Structure 1
Amino acid sequence: MPINLDELKNATNLRGRRPRNGATFVAPVDGRAHVSGERTVPLLQQTIPALLSDTVSKYGTLDAAVFVDQDKRFTWSELSDTVDALAAGFLALGLAKGDRVGIWSPNRWEWLVTQFATARIGLILVNINPAYRLTELDYALNKVACRALVTAVKFKSSDYLGMIETLAPEIATATPGELDAKKLPALKIVIRMGEEHSPGMLNFTDVLAMAGRDEHDSLDRISEGLKPGDAINIQFTSGTTGAPKGATLTHNNIVNNGNFVTSAIRLTVDDRLCIPVPLYHCFGMSMGTIGCVTKGATMVFPGEGFDAGATLKAVAGERCTGLYG
């Protein structure tokens, strides 16, 4: 419904002044009001790996991320080292810039590391809703031709490994990293989280350790060849008006979204931000993780999914100064 400019001006009494966050009302277009945001602050022209590298160089020994439920902590330097290990492992598996890597998991430390490891070498991370079932998983993996999938074992009532085995029964006898499934023709690599091993799948911890010197030595060269406008992420819409649509985002999209949002809430390196919202969408992985990287703030994840009690416990126990919700 069009906004009535006169009603808006009378209600706000802000004609010619900035209503909030540097925005200002401007002349109507075709009888409709619109708002123009702040234009004096330049966009960051950085890739995600360059942004992370800058933060590590400034705040390496400070807390980067805390996963309360998993009892896992990273300083910025530790996070960077783990990201590099996984990125090098991806290279050892034959993945290259532009390949799609799906991530199907609730909020876990492996999700965070996968996000930055894919960005490190120009892989396109495909966020798969943790609530997806067989049909939706089939659709998402095939729609964008995922070559690899990083998956949790389960979440709530969802048996992720069981669903993968149903869609790709060939995995039971496949050599890990060489899947050839009729229903998922593009998918070759399945990496499972947790300590155990499953037929036809690689273990996440093993991938962290599989790279040699050549892969590690090539990381900086690959990162330096990336551009802010490169595609780096695909997120699916909710599908309320049809099949979910894959929206492709660039380094530039994600970095600036995170930067402007956390600037608006005045986040700093001294803050500890509680992030109970899902990582698989923008709130968690852009406004949350990337936003914290732009400021050097600590990310605190209470658990795999939202639980009010666990969130409050994390806020108190980790001395959080901010809370997303």
Structure 2
Amino acid sequence: MPSYASGVSDVPLLGDTIGDNFDRTVAAVPDRDALVEVPTGRRWTYAQLRSDVDALALGLLDTGVAKGDRVGIWAPNMAEWTLLQYASAKLGAILVNINPSYRTHELEFVLNQAGVSVLVSAREFKTSNYEQMIADVRGKCPDLRSVVLIGSDEWNGLLDAGRAGDPAVLAERQASLTTDDPINIQYTSGTTGFPKGATLSHHNILNNGYFLGRILGYTSDDRVCIPVPFYHCFGMVMGNLGCTSNGSTMVIPAQGFDPEATLRAVAQERCTSLYGVPTMFIAELNAPTFADHDVSSLRTGIMAGSPCPVEVMKQVVDRMGMAEVTIAYGMTETSPVSTQTRRDDSLELRVSTVGRVLPHLEVKIVDPETGLTVPRGEPGELCTRGYSVMLGYWNEPDKTAEAIDPARWMHTGDLGVMDDDGYVNITGRIKDMVIRGGENVYPREIEEFLHTHPDILDAQVVGVPDVKYGEELCAWVIQREGSTPLDADAVREFATGKLAHYKIPRYVMVVDEFPMTVTGKVRKVEMRATSVDRLGLGDASSAGKAQETST
């Protein structure tokens, strides 16, 4: 049987724009909580949220924001982010998500590449002075005609003007939009060069949020804690749109990820669902005050962004009570989710696979060299097709053509295997695969094994150059607090007899943390570079002299 599966469903795709779908939910559950911002205590019912969304939309309309204009948002997780997400959707303006960790060079690039005309921004976040950085680049961004700082007189003026505006004007604009209009640009965190702007439509992201929420069983009784960033699909699609398309409540625990704040928000708001990448769940489970928070309201949630270690999943189910937690897999270019485990799947399926294809989508595993679909059980590149595939990279047709083939299959660059039941196991990135002495080694397998070591809290494995074997394995490990110090010899001894000799890491580096993106993904490119530098492997000829170290 070929490694191909399609998502059959008797529930049709939504044909709405985001604004129309939001209004439909408001009409159905006007008095239900729509949005709760825990740090400030602010909360909105669906009716109140629509009032503020429409006011902001009319205010922006009054300043001349046209359909297709790019409106940038540069802010951490806060209620105003959500207001702008839905206001821009009602206007048909294209929301450009700007990574909160960007500095001036990256900010200037995104503003110019997308042609942002209006930028809505927080004044600051953590150590970043956004107001100053905007001032530094504004003269280099000819398309940027307006900057509105959240909480400023200009921001309040937009809302005031909108409240005094004519709702019929907004209704007319909203009625002129189509589901296939571009509505969002999200910049992928490229490992080399500048990021690319994945351009997404109403149809792309609304349906992805809706069906993901249906798989989680969302209703108007669900309250979803969203500690993942809004600027990424995990927050604004799986979180916000997953909620509003199903009438559920969005809960913001903090502006940035904080394990204690997340646990407090779950307990205070009686959240039924919690999102995060594995490192977030690890931090929550190991928070000193974990036992002080009543998280018994949790039943489900999503773990995504990187592979979930078996031990972490067991603790999420046992200690957090998330018996229906699911694993989701996807990428920004696919809105984002392509496959997901189901709530009633076994624990084994939830830790060994990323689930099966979502409704109305297709996935296949192909030979990266020939493009032919491989038989089930054989590895290859995962490709996906359907409503979720992006319109393309903004103003980059050549790069779009590299990612999406003429039949509209999105090539993910991920290696996967599909079993007889259609469940997919991601074994790594094509570029992450380590070839040691002719043997293909998939880092995830080694990482899963290292998680069974009683003293290891988290582990990541990368390949480093070696003069004899071409590549060798280097494991980065974070130890449990108070555990016996580890070194390469101790790790090798633990692995001997349990892993094939060529899968045992030659190098081990004990660290306090991994280099991460804002969305919680481990930056393996940076880890490789650091490993090469610390181990003295810059010149492959020196590989044999490198010492087996821990730092």
Contact map agreement 2:219 2:247 (CA 8 A) in 1: yes
Change (3 A) 1:266 1:228: same
User: Which residue of the partner structure matches residue 174 of structure 1?
Assistant: none
> Is the counterpart of residue 107 in structure 1 residue 77 in structure 2?
yes
> Is the counterpart of residue 302 in structure 1 residue 302 in structure 2?
no
Amino acid paired to 2:272: T
Alignment identity in percent? 50
Q: Residues of 2 paired with 1:217 and 1:45: CA distance?
A: 22
Contact map agreement 1:55 1:293 (CA 8 A) in 2: yes
User: Which residue of the partner structure matches residue 192 of structure 1?
Assistant: 149
Runs of 4+ in 1 over 6 A off after TM superposition: none
Contact map agreement 2:34 2:250 (CA 8 A) in 1: yes
User: Which residue of the partner structure matches residue 181 of structure 2?
Assistant: 230
Q: Residues of 2 paired with 1:237 and 1:309: CA distance?
A: 29
User: Which residue of the partner structure matches residue 96 of structure 2?
Assistant: 126
| TM-fit CA distance, 1:39 | 4.1
User: Which residue of the partner structure matches residue 313 of structure 1?
Assistant: 264
1:252 is aligned, of 171, 192, 203, to: 203
Amino acid paired to 1:189: S
Secondary structure at the aligned position of 1:166 is classed as helix
Q: Residues of 1 paired with 2:203 and 2:179: CA distance?
A: 5
1:273 is aligned, of 199, 224, 240, to: 224
Counting only pairs closer than 5 Å after superposition, residues 27-106 of structure 1 correspond to structure 2 as 27-28=1-2, 33-106=3-76
| TM-fit CA distance, 1:242 | 2.6
Q: Residues of 2 paired with 1:157 and 1:272: CA distance?
A: 31
User: Which residue of the partner structure matches residue 262 of structure 1?
Assistant: 213
Q: Residues of 1 paired with 2:272 and 2:248: CA distance?
A: 10
User: Which residue of the partner structure matches residue 161 of structure 1?
Assistant: 131
Change (3 A) 1:143 1:213: same
Contact map agreement 2:30 2:45 (CA 8 A) in 1: yes
Secondary structure at the aligned position of 1:323 is classed as strand
Cα deviation digits, residues 185-224 of structure 1 (max 9, x gap): 0000100012x45xxxxx2112111247555330111111
Secondary structure at the aligned position of 2:116 is classed as coil
Secondary structure at the aligned position of 1:89 is classed as helix
Amino acid paired to 2:46: W
Change (3 A) 1:105 1:35: same
| TM-fit CA distance, 1:133 | 0.4
User: Which residue of the partner structure matches residue 470 of structure 2?
Assistant: none
User: Which residue of the partner structure matches residue 176 of structure 1?
Assistant: none
Secondary structure at the aligned position of 1:74 is classed as strand
> Structure 1 residues 89-98 or 38-47, which shifts more?
38-47
Contact map agreement 1:118 1:125 (CA 8 A) in 2: yes
Secondary structure at the aligned position of 1:102 is classed as strand
Cα deviation digits, residues 223-279 of structure 1 (max 9, x gap): 111111111100000011331000110000011110111111111111111001000
Q: Residues of 2 paired with 1:269 and 1:249: CA distance?
A: 27
Q: Residues of 2 paired with 1:107 and 1:211: CA distance?
A: 23
Q: Residues of 2 paired with 1:257 and 1:77: CA distance?
A: 24
User: Which residue of the partner structure matches residue 273 of structure 2?
Assistant: 322
Q: Residues of 1 paired with 2:249 and 2:115: CA distance?
A: 34
Q: CA RMSD in A?
A: 1.3
> Is the counterpart of residue 136 in structure 1 residue 106 in structure 2?
yes
Secondary structure at the aligned position of 2:200 is classed as strand
Q: Residues of 1 paired with 2:192 and 2:136: CA distance?
A: 28
Contact map agreement 2:66 2:93 (CA 8 A) in 1: yes
Q: Residues of 2 paired with 1:316 and 1:214: CA distance?
A: 40
Amino acid paired to 2:248: A
Q: Which of the pair is proportionally richer in strand?
A: 2
Change (3 A) 1:265 1:84: same
Secondary structure at the aligned position of 2:8 is classed as coil
User: Which residue of the partner structure matches residue 147 of structure 1?
Assistant: 117
Change (3 A) 1:211 1:298: closer
User: Which residue of the partner structure matches residue 419 of structure 2?
Assistant: none
Amino acid paired to 1:163: M
Give the number of the structure whose alpha-carbon radius of gyration is greater: 2
Q: Which sections of structure 1, spanning at least 5 residues, go unmatched?
A: 1-26, 169-180, 198-202
Contact map agreement 2:149 2:155 (CA 8 A) in 1: yes
Contact map agreement 1:63 1:74 (CA 8 A) in 2: yes
How many pairs are equivalent? Answer: 276
Q: Residues of 2 paired with 1:212 and 1:293: CA distance?
A: 22
Q: Residues of 2 paired with 1:214 and 1:308: CA distance?
A: 42
User: Which residue of the partner structure matches residue 310 of structure 2?
Assistant: none
Contact map agreement 1:45 1:228 (CA 8 A) in 2: yes
Amino acid paired to 1:38: V
Q: TM-score, normalization: structure 1? A: 0.83
Cα deviation digits, residues 94-131 of structure 1 (max 9, x gap): 11111000000000111000000000111110000011
Contact map agreement 1:127 1:233 (CA 8 A) in 2: yes
| TM-fit CA distance, 1:38 | 2.4
User: Which residue of the partner structure matches residue 23 of structure 1?
Assistant: none
